[in-house]
Amino acid sequence: MTTIPADLSYTADHEWVSAPQGPTARVGVTEFAAAALGDVVFLELPQVGDPVTGGEQCGEIESTKSVSALFSPISGTVSAVNQAVVDAPELVNEDPFGEGWLFEVSPVSAAGELLDPEAYAGLTAAAE
């Protein structure tokens, strides 16, 4: 069974976003996505200061199986990038909701449709 934390919002593309902590929100990929990708070996992430738009591609995730687009679930400016996951991409597989977070966005503007945990659970159940 896939873990789906109740305190996050999700996209149909399997990214997650935290509720804003002050002016920033944290972004990552879900456990479902990490499992589907296989072993993550390289990440191309947006840089601090880059603008991101909800629903638009902002990077790539390369695994032993494929290269997949990374979409930002929200709009704003990248305020932090997780250097630990850049240096050790396997953190995406090992701890996608913790140490495997990807970047933070500030100010936060939800764009597009974010799914609550129940809706995301329905989406992943249909795909399994």
**Residue 2 domain flag:** no
DSSP code of residue 27: E
- 122 pLDDT tier (thresholds 50, 70, 90): very high
> What CATH number is associated with residue 92?
2.40.50.100
Query: Which range marks the domain in which residue 36 is found?
Result: 8-117
Domain count, the chain: 1
Residue 100 domain flag: yes
Q: Say whether 79 sits in a helix, a strand or coil.
A: strand
pLDDT tens string 1-59: 688 999 999 999 999 999 877 789 999 999 999 999 999 999 999 999 999 999 999 99
